Amino acid sequence: MAIERTLAIIKPDAVADGNVGGIVGMIEASGLRILGMRMVRLTVPQAQAFYAIHAQRPFFEGLVAFMTSGPVVVLALEGEDAVASWRGLMGPTDSTKAGPDTVRGRYGEDVSRNAVHGSDAVQTAAVEIPFFFPTCQLI
């Protein structure tokens, strides 16, 4: 077990549906500490850059359109095994397969409109957190 940091994004579907408070509440109840949090509207180039690893996937264009369709809330989180802990709380990518105690099970719709993002590894988080939070802004 180690103290890690991870990036969470509350996606446009969840923001539009008024689920920011519910999701932030689940994060806090889980024991993860919020280091930084703000609302942003991604541009198309920013969303393409953030999801560059998926550039060749058939869903890439739809993913970029979705992620730029409205404001998102970005959070830098810290805690014991924060990467796996947040991924566990999120639930699987496909919301229809996510359990009722997960964020995606509670607030997601399907495999694309799935309410939240989470870094998939410590090394990924180390790139994704500075994408939104300059290190000097974090507590």
Using CB under 5 A as the criterion, which residues of the chain lie in contact with Mg ion when the complex forms?
120
- Which of the listed partners (ligand IDP, Mg ion, none) does 38 bind, with a CB threshold of 5 to 8 Å by partner kind? none
Q: Which of 5, 8, 117, 129 binds ligand IDP (CB under 6 A)?
A: 117
Name which of ligand IDP, Mg ion, none residue 93 binds, using a CB cut-off of 5 to 8 Å depending on partner kind. Answer: ligand IDP
Q: Is 54 a catalytic residue?
A: no
Apex CA 11: angle with CA 72 and CA 106, to 5°? 135
3-class state of residue 43 by DSSP = coil
- CB 35 to ligand IDP: min, Å: 20
30 lies in the site for ligand IDP, by CB under 6 A: no
Per DSSP, the residues of 47-98 read HHHHTGGGTTSTTHHHHHHHHTSS-EEEEEEEEETHHHHHHHHH--SSGGGS
Write down the catalytic residue from 32, 117, 118, 133: 117
Say how many CA atoms lie within 13 Å of 26 toward its Cβ: 23
From the list ligand IDP, Mg ion, none, pick the one residue 109 interacts with, judged by a Cβ distance below 5 to 8 Å according to partner type: none
Minimum CB separation of residue 93 from Mg ion in Å reads: 7
Nearest in space to 14 (alpha carbons), one of 30, 26, 5: 26
- Residue with Cβ nearer ligand IDP (49 or 137): 49
Question: 71 and 15 in contact (C-beta within 8 Å)?
Answer: yes
Which positions are annotated as active-site residues?
117
Can you give the binding site for ligand IDP, defined by CB under 6 A? 54, 59, 63, 93, 111-112, 114, 117, 120
